[in-house]
């Protein structure tokens, strides 16, 4: 069994990368045509993926689904049950957090990798950048 703090860190990375709330958005730098083709819409596809996770996992409370948004690399390091428990503990109803606002993301895309910085509306989250990668045709959280 992995230490809870390690699993919680993965859960925190997943959720913080997805649960930004605020009013400012910054544009990602321009990408080459090759990078755009490889990443299937790059920033727009990533934003859509982040929004899905926010609605389904954070607002919807479907904690086990959070595992599905991890990269294959992170999935080999953590199991679904541990990720589910960490997400529920860290961001569930008893966490004291408020995720009712709409998310805002600051994204920097570099080919098939992106840095996502979040600002949670409740002021309790980290603003540290989280890494997402474009793997197997979709963006996945690679901050493990």
Contact indicator for 127, 13 with CB cutoff of 8 Å? no
CATH of domain 4-135: 3.10.450
Residue 41 is predicted with a pLDDT of 65
Least confident range from 19-23, 106-110, 112-116: namely 19-23
Structural element, H or E, at residue 44: helix 42-53
- Please state, in angstroms and rounded to a whole number, the distance separating the CA atoms of residues 69 and 49: 8
* Residue range 20-50, pLDDT digits in tens: 333 334 444 444 344 444 445 689 999 999 9
| pTM for this predicted structure | 0.72
């Amino acid at each position: 069994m992995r230490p809870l703090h390690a699993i919680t860190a993965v859960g925190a990375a997943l959720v913080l990368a997805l649960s930004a709330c605020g009013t400012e958005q910054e544009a990602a730098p321009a990408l080459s045509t090759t990078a755009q083709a490889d990443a299937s819409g790059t920033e727009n596809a990533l934003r859509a993926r982040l929004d899905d996770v926010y609605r389904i996992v954070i607002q919807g409370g479907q904690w086990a689904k959070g595992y599905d948004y991890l990269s294959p690399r992170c999935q080999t390091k953590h199991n679904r049950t541990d990720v589910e428990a960490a997400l529920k503990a860290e961001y569930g109803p008893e966490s004291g957090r408020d995720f009712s606002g709409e998310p805002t993301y600051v994204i920097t895309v570099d080919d098939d990798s992106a840095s996502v910085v979040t600002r949670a509306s409740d002021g309790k989250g980290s603003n540290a950048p989280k890494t997402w990668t474009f793997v197997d045709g979709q963006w996945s959280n690679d901050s493990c």
